[in-house]
Amino acid sequence: MKIAIVCDSFKESLAPLEVAEEIKAGFSRVFPEASYICLPMADGGEGTVEALVQGTDGKLVHCSVTGPLGMPVPAFFGISGDGQTAIIEMAAAAGLPLLQPEERDPLRTTTYGVGQLVLAALEHGCRHVILGLGGSATNDGGAGFAQALGARLLDQQGQELPPGGGALARLADVDLSGLDRRLSDITLEGACDVTSPLTGPRGASHVFGPQKGAGPEDVILLDDALAHYARILALRCGKDVAAVPGAGAAGGLGAGLLAFTKARLRPGVEIVADQLQLAARFRDVDLVITGEGRMDGQSAQGKAPMGVAQVARAQGRPVIAIVGSTGEGVDRMHQVGIDAFFDTVPRPEALPVVLAQARENVRRTAENVAAAIRTGMEMGRNLSGSS
């Protein structure tokens, strides 16, 4: 028997590979002769760098970049084992966790540091860049990102725009003559799990602006500024990005990627699955096991277990999910390829206790699931023999 175990993290308790190793430990008590493949998984958001670095035997690169409010911050990105692919989480340079709640101000925050991370990846010779779009503190439409890469965003007086989403209302012209020429020679993919357009009621400002510190009047100002920005980009760059699904991801960074580079936007879970070569790995396995900290109806909207299940289903492989807990709408996971799911918390407990017992709970649950599978196999043999 060959089993592939591909898991996302159990937030605040176990990293992806730790979850996979505990599942393997539980299964090995019942099926010690089986062979196991353990891989980390992510959906393009937080943890994607770690998953792809570990999954490809790559490395982390640490550097200092411009943070969301213009001050230097320590950041990082990953490079795959073959040295060709850079994996970047935009939140490492422009994420909400880099700011205190009282510092959040999407009128001023910038994605400049994200562009610096891309430049650093180019300096390391990477030909493929995966950029995770999630967790942003920004609403600047990727303007800062473009400025870091050499584009000039000018006002009516020909002066460079200052940082932040509020300044976009003054954009008059775009000069791409200084854009880094190496961008034309690389493949750049934006990993996003939202389909929001850039503007409007479902756009970046209205949906995500409030959590970044925007008040009701700020939201209207930011949405108008992004609409103006999109009109100028269409005129000067020849790209109408306002209504493209995903353009509103990460405060409009999705739109910036489309306008200033040859990037394409894809669901993050698909990108990660491709990089980990899950389809090829699943061809000769008998069972696929996946998991995440909490599985509910939203897990069917592009989360890691869904991505694993869809690849496994295409290969005709059964899929079991072992998760921290389940929530409302979890039955939808059957529709995306999860054949059975099991939560690991045996009784109501305070959160600190649950977190402390995570390893034991995962291992015990995995052993019980394996025992149930073995019992089913024995029943099948007995029934076959009796017939």
CATH of the domain at 251: 3.90.1510.10
Q: What is the pLDDT of residues 92-144, one digit of tens each?
A: 999 999 999 999 999 999 999 999 999 999 999 999 999 999 899 999 999 99
Residues 142 and 171 in one domain: yes
Mean pLDDT in residue range 135-162: 97
How buried is 112 (Cβ within 10 angstroms: 0-12 exposed, 13-18 middle, 19+ buried)?
buried
* Interval 65-94 mean pLDDT: 97
pLDDT of residue 83: 96
What pairing do the DSSP bridges indicate for beta strands 72-79 and 85-89?
antiparallel
Mean pLDDT of 140-160: 97
Average pLDDT, the chain: 94
User: Pairing between strand 340-343 and 319-323?
Assistant: parallel
Same domain, 225 and 89: yes
Domain match, 111 and 61 both:
yes
Are 87 and 52 found together in one domain? yes
Whether 380 shows a pLDDT value over 90: the answer reads no
Q: Which domain holds residue 337?
A: 2-40+277-386
E-strand ranges in 221-318 read 264-267, 287-291, 294-295
pLDDT digits (tens, 9 = 90+) for 349-369: 888 888 899 999 999 999 999
Looking at the fold, whether 100 and 207 belong to one and the same domain comes out as yes
pLDDT higher than threshold 90 for residue 384: no
Q: How many domains does the chain have?
A: 2
Average pLDDT over residues 231-238: 93
> Are the beta carbons of 282 and 273 closer than 8 angstroms?
no
What pLDDT digit, counting tens, does each position of 43-66 carry? 888 889 999 999 999 999 999 999
| Average pLDDT score over residue span 217-229 | 98
Q: Render 1-47 in DSSP notation, one character per residue.
A: -EEEEEE--BTTTB-HHHHHHHHHHHHHHH-TT-EEEEEE---SSTT
The domain boundary, picked from 201, 235, 269, lies at 269
Out of 269, 286, 303, pick the residue that ends a domain: 269
Span 251-270, mean pLDDT? Answer: 95
Residue 81: partners with Cβ closer than 8 Å, 6 or more residues away: 56, 57, 58
Domain boundary among 243, 269, 295: 269
Q: Are residues 21 and 156 in the same domain?
A: no
**Same domain flag for 34 and 106:** no
Residues 286 and 181 in one domain: no
Residue 336 amino acid letter: V
Same-domain status, 98 and 211 = yes
Mark whether 52 and 36 lie in a shared domain.
Answer: no
